[in-house]
Amino acid sequence: MWAGALIFGAFLASRSGIGPIGYFISAAIYGVGSLVCHQRPERSFHIWGAQLPVCARCTGIYAGAALAAVTAIIRRVDVNRDPVLMHVKRAVFLAALPSMLTLLLEWTTGQMPGNWLRATTGSLLGAIVAWIVVASSAR
């Protein structure tokens, strides 16, 4: 639901005349986004002329998590039988590694990778964490 709320918040923010309820909903989504993300405009995707409530990396994490959760539910995956998840700590580390490398690049060189790369690396982490959560709850 959160991944969808991010898109909906940007949609509302891009519209004029949405009224007080629409404004409140959009502001609430952006407010929650500010609790978990820096929301820097240059590191965020923009749709309909509005910045998404979270940066590209966070967008990737939430999109990857949503897609993986739905897929895991449909597949009825079980953490004890899924070969990928037999080594959960290793799976999380490997999924987080690309994001860690982009952060290391940013911190050591000052160069910012493109938003699509940041989103893609984030989506790997979001996907594996959601997969583990869904698979663990299937017991």
Band of the pLDDT at 77, cuts 50, 70, 90?
confident
Residues 50 and 88 in one domain: no
Q: Which of 37, 54, 71 is the last residue of a domain?
A: 54
Q: How many residues does the chain have?
A: 139
The pLDDT of 7-30, averaged and rounded, is 94
pLDDT of residue 89: 79
Residues 48 and 59 in one domain: no
What is the average pLDDT value for the chain, to the nearest integer? 90
Centroid of chain to Cα 96: 13
pLDDT of residue 74: 86
Element (H, E) at 133: helix 115-137
Q: List own/partner pairs for 18-22 with CB under 8 A and 24 or more apart.
A: none
Residues 40 and 63 in one domain: no
Domain that holds residue 12: 1-54
The yes-or-no verdict on residue 38 having pLDDT over 60 is yes
Band of the pLDDT at 64, cuts 50, 70, 90?
very high
**pLDDT tens, position by position, 93-116:** 999 999 999 999 989 998 888 999
